[in-house]
Amino acid sequence: MQLMGGTLRPGTISWTDLTVEDAENIRDFYHAVVGWTPAPISMGGYSDFVMNADGGEAVAGVCHARGHNADLPSVWLVYITVEDLDHSLEQCQRLGGTVLSPPRSHGGGRYCVIQDPAGAICALYQPPDAA
């Protein structure tokens, strides 16, 4: 996961990833269909891809369903910025949501994947400056 540029504010979508079995094929699909230019990002033994818009701005990720992404669903997963990941997880579970993927560290911050009571899935991201 590489976050979109700008200041990360709680309650905003800061990134989106798609995790799939065949990331190269899906990378090429989105390159042809929407014009994104892929850039490999090393995952230690393989590469996932940051997808860049026409001006070079990173807009999304296409990832292999392996390593720390092995348990993620094959959906466009939005990352919503939160101030306090632990508090957000407590509220999620208290209100009938489910933690699908436990908190993990990334770039000094932390994230996890949840499912809301209606079945929708998203990731919650606490940036390093809020950690």
Q: Structural domain boundaries of the chain?
A: 13-130
Tokens found for residue 29: 């699909």
What integer pLDDT is reported at residue 69 of this predicted model? 87
Q: Is 127:9 a contact under the CB 8 Å cutoff?
A: no
Q: Is 13:1 a contact under the CB 8 Å cutoff?
A: no
Residue range 36-67, pLDDT digits in tens: 999 999 999 999 999 999 999 999 999 999 98
Q: Is 51:27 a contact under the CB 8 Å cutoff?
A: yes
Whether the per-residue pLDDT at 30 is higher than 80: the answer is: yes
Q: What is the mean pLDDT of the chain?
A: 91
State whether CATH 3.40.50.300 applies to domain 13-130: no
Per the document, the length of the chain is: 131
Q: With H, G, I as helix, E, B as strand and everything else as coil, classify residue 121.
A: strand
Residue range 98-119, pLDDT digits in tens: 999 999 997 789 999 999 999 9
Task: Please report where in the chains the tokens 């026409």 appear, as a residue.
Answer: 54
